[in-house]
Structure 1
Amino acid sequence: MNNLNKKRVNPTQHRKVYLIGGGIASLASAAYFIRDGQINPDNIIIYEELNVAGGSLDSAGNPEDGYVMRGGRMLNFSYLCTYDLFSFIPSLSDPGIMVLDEIKAFNRNIKTHSQARVVENGHILDVSSMGFSNKDRLDLIEMMAVGENHLGIKRINEWFAPEFFKTNFWFMWDTMFAFQPWHSAVEFKRYLHRFIHEFKRINTLAGVDRTPYNQFDSLAKPLINWLKQQGVHFQIGVSVTDLDFSLTGEKLTVQQIHLIDGGKKKSVKIGVNDMVLVTIGSMTADSSLGSMHAAPELITDKRDGSWKLWEAIAKHSDQFGHPSVFDNHVDESKWESFTVTCQGTDFFERMKTFSGNDAGTGGLVTFKDSNWLMSIVLAYQPHFIGQPDDVTVFWGYGLFPDNEGNFVKKKMADCTGTEILTELFSHLQFDTLNDRLLKTANCIPCMLPYITSQFLIRAPGDRPQVIPEISENMAFIGQFAEVPDDVVFTVEYSVRTAQTAVYGLLELDKKTIPMYKGDHHIDVLFDAMKTMIS
Structure 2
Amino acid sequence: MTPQRHAYIIGSGIGSLAAATFMIRDGGMAGDAITIFETQPVPGGSLDGSGTAEGGYSMRGGRMLTTDNYECTWELYKTIPSLTDPAVTVYEETVAFNTPVTAHSQARLIDRNRAIVDVTTMGFDMSDRVELLKLTETSEEKLGDSPITDWLSPQFFETNFWFMWQTTFAFQPWHSAIEFRRYLHRFMKEFSRIETLEGVKRTVYNQNDSLVKPLVAWLTSKGVQFRCNTTVTDMTVETRDGQLTVSGLTVRTDNKDSVVAVDKDDLVILQNASMTDASSIGSMTVAPEKRTKADSMGWVLWERLCEGRPEFGNPAAFNSSIAESNWPSFTVTLHDAVFFNRMESLSGNKAGTGGLVTFRDSNWRLSIVLAHQPHFANQPTDVQVFWGYALHGDRIGDFVAKPMADCSGEDILQELCGHLNFDKADVFASANCIPCRMPYITSMFMPRAPGDRPQPIPVNSRNLGLVSQFVEIPEDVVFTVEFSIRVAQIVVYQMLGIEKKIPPVSRHDTSLKVKFDALVKAFQ
What residue is the counterpart of 2:200 in the other structure?
208
- Amino acid in the other structure paired with 1:138: V
What residue is the counterpart of 1:287 in the other structure?
279
1:309-324 equivalences under 5 Å are: 309-315=301-307, 317-324=309-316
Mapped pair 1:408 → 2:415: no
Structure 1 residue matching 2:294: 3-state secondary structure: coil
Structure 1 stretch displaced more, 28-37 or 435-444: 435-444
Unaligned runs of 5+ in 1: 1-8
Q: How far is the alpha carbon of 1:142 from its aligned partner? A: 1.2
Mapped pair 1:499 → 2:489: yes
- Deviations 1:410-442 (CA, angstroms, capped at 9, x unpaired): 1111111111111101101113xx213332101
Q: How far is the alpha carbon of 1:237 from its aligned partner? A: 0.9
CA contact (8 A) 2:277 2:293 kept: no
Structure 2 residue matching 1:52: 3-state secondary structure: coil
Mapped pair 1:37 → 2:57: no
- Deviations 1:198-228 (CA, angstroms, capped at 9, x unpaired): 1111000010010000000000001101100
Mapped pair 1:225 → 2:217: yes
d(CA) in 2 for partners of 1:39, 1:142 = 48
d(CA) in 2 for partners of 1:373, 1:141 = 26
d(CA) in 1 for partners of 2:500, 2:210 = 28
Mapped pair 1:266 → 2:244: no
- Deviations 1:76-112 (CA, angstroms, capped at 9, x unpaired): 1110000011111100000010000000000002321
Mapped pair 1:111 → 2:110: no
d(CA) in 1 for partners of 2:39, 2:309 = 24
d(CA) in 2 for partners of 1:167, 1:258 = 51
What residue is the counterpart of 2:515 in the other structure?
525
1:402-481 equivalences under 5 Å are: 402-431=394-423, 434-481=424-471
- Deviations 1:324-348 (CA, angstroms, capped at 9, x unpaired): 1111210000000000001111100
What residue is the counterpart of 2:6 in the other structure?
16
Which of these residues, 83, 90, 101, is aligned with residue 92 of structure 1? 83
d(CA) in 1 for partners of 2:473, 2:234 = 24
Structure 2 residue matching 1:123: 3-state secondary structure: coil
CA contact (8 A) 2:270 2:465 kept: yes
Mapped pair 1:360 → 2:352: yes
1:57-76 equivalences under 5 Å are: 57-76=47-66
CA contact (8 A) 1:292 1:418 kept: yes
CA contact (8 A) 2:22 2:492 kept: yes
Mapped pair 1:276 → 2:271: no
d(CA) in 2 for partners of 1:484, 1:53 = 28
TM-score in terms of structure 1 length:
0.96
CA contact (8 A) 1:302 1:308 kept: no
d(CA) in 2 for partners of 1:14, 1:44 = 11
- Deviations 1:261-314 (CA, angstroms, capped at 9, x unpaired): 221111111111111000011011111111111111110143221211211211
- Amino acid in the other structure paired with 1:18: Y
- Amino acid in the other structure paired with 1:310: W
- Amino acid in the other structure paired with 2:104: H
d(CA) in 1 for partners of 2:381, 2:487 = 39
CA contact (8 A) 1:14 1:39 kept: no
Structure 1 stretch displaced more, 364-373 or 421-430: 421-430
d(CA) in 2 for partners of 1:151, 1:116 = 34
Q: Which runs of 4+ in 1 moved over 4 A?
A: none
CA contact (8 A) 1:76 1:208 kept: yes
- Amino acid in the other structure paired with 1:125: V
d(CA) in 2 for partners of 1:91, 1:305 = 33
CA contact (8 A) 1:418 1:438 kept: no
Aligned length: 522
Unaligned runs of 5+ in 2: none
Structure 1 residue matching 2:358: 3-state secondary structure: strand
Which of these residues, 123, 128, 133, is aligned with residue 136 of structure 1? 128
Matched-pair identity in %: 51
Structure 2 residue matching 1:419: 3-state secondary structure: helix
- Deviations 1:234-285 (CA, angstroms, capped at 9, x unpaired): 0111101121111123311111111212211111111111110000110111
Structure 2 residue matching 1:27: 3-state secondary structure: helix
Q: How far is the alpha carbon of 1:316 from its aligned partner? A: 5.0
RMSD between superposed Cα atoms in Å: 1.2
Structure 1 residue matching 2:436: 3-state secondary structure: strand
1:120-269 equivalences under 5 Å are: 120=111, 121-269=113-261
What residue is the counterpart of 1:6 in the other structure?
none
What residue is the counterpart of 1:391 in the other structure?
383
